[in-house]
């Protein structure tokens, strides 16, 4: 069964604090990069997997989408979405994305921001997505980069005597599977897959890779968050845009 860590009250409060900082990673690095890859959304039907607060759902509406379905496993995240990003053409559903095969509607775009690494069965997820996409539909998603998810244990960074990050440690890269890490003081379960597994799964399900982006902060982001310079050692996330071939 999928972990629902965002409904853990302590974790949720910590996460809310993190997102309150307007200079956070999502706002400065991931969102600008993934939004650049959005197709034309005029009149389109969009599914957002792991929609969280619904920020992207409301953005799709502002870009002309006619209908958006946002699903998330967490009732606490959806509570905020339903308060802050409500619209008559957005429907929020509490659902584990491992079970999207029960949805009956077809979509032009299936989108997900920083949530796929929480899903154990990536092959099933991509197969379900293929079945839910219209012909030539687009899958656009970000997830933690495999360089980031790889280590089973030990320090992620090698630092100098002053605590400055020198380089990122890479271990266990070819061991696909569960990782247990501590984030925001709680034990989190996520799933590592090497890049070959991520890409070949898409290819086997008839997707054509249109773009793969390893986003780095621009000058403006670095002025606000000089510590994001570490993203040049290894990027926190990877963004993939793929189109269903038939």
Ligand X SMILES: C[S@@+](CC[C@H](N)C(=O)[O-])C[C@H]1O[C@@H](n2cnc3c(N)ncnc32)[C@H](O)[C@@H]1O
Binding residue (CB under 6 A) for ligand X from 57, 115, 126, 244:
115
Looking at 55, 147, 148, 168, which residue binds ligand X (CB under 6 A)? 55
User: Binding to ligand X by residue 97, rule CB under 6 A?
Assistant: yes
Tell which one of 118, 141, 191, 228 touches ligand X (CB under 6 A): 118
Residues of span 13-42 touching ligand X by CB under 6 A: 26
Interaction between residue 50 and ligand X (CB under 6 A): yes
Using the minimum distance from each CB to ligand X, give the nearer residue, 46 or 97.
Answer: 97
Rule CB under 6 A: choose which of 85, 113, 149, 168 binds ligand X. Answer: 113
The distance of closest approach from Cβ of residue 199 to ligand X in the complex, given in angstroms and rounded to an integer, is: 22
> Can residue 147 be called a binding residue for ligand X (CB under 6 A)?
no
Q: Specify the residue, 95 or 216, whose C-beta has the smaller distance to ligand X.
A: 95
Tell me if 96 contacts ligand X by CB under 6 A. yes
Told to check if 73 binds ligand X by CB under 6 A, we report yes
Beta bridge partners of 239: 142, 213
**# residues near ligand X by CB under 6 A:** 21
Near ligand X by CB under 6 A: residue from 38, 51, 69, 126: 51
Token pair 């029960």 is found at 102
Interface with ligand X by CB under 6 A: which residues?
Answer: 2, 6, 26, 50-53, 55, 71-74, 77, 96-98, 113-115, 118-119
């Amino acid at each position: 069964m999928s972990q629902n860590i965002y409904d853990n009250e302590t974790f949720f409060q910590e996460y809310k604090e993190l997102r309150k900082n307007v200079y956070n990673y999502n706002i400065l690095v991931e969102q600008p990069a993934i939004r650049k890859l959005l197709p034309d959304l005029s009149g389109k039907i969009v599914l957002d997997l792991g929609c969280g607060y619904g920020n992207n759902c409301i953005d799709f509406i502002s870009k002309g989408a006619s209908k958006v379905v946002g699903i998330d496993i967490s009732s606490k995240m959806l509570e905020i979405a339903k308060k802050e990003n409500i619209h008559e053409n957005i429907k929020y559903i509490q659902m584990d994305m491992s079970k999207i095969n029960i949805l009956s509607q077809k979509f032009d775009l299936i989108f997900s921001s920083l949530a796929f690494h929480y899903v154990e069965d990536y092959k099933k997820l991509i197969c379900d997505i293929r079945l839910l996409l219209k012909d030539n539909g687009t899958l656009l998603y970000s997830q933690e980069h495999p360089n980031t998810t790889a280590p089973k244990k030990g320090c992620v960074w090698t630092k100098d005597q002053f605590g400055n990050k020198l380089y990122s440690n890479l271990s266990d890269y070819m061991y696909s599977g569960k990782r247990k890490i501590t984030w925001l003081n709680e034990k989190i379960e996520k799933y590592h897959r090497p890049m070959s597994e991520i890409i070949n799964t898409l290819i086997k399900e008839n997707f054509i890779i249109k773009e793969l982006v390893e986003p780095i902060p621009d000058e403006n982001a670095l002025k606000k968050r000089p510590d994001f310079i570490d993203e040049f050692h290894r990027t926190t996330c990877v963004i993939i845009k793929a189109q269903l071939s038939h």
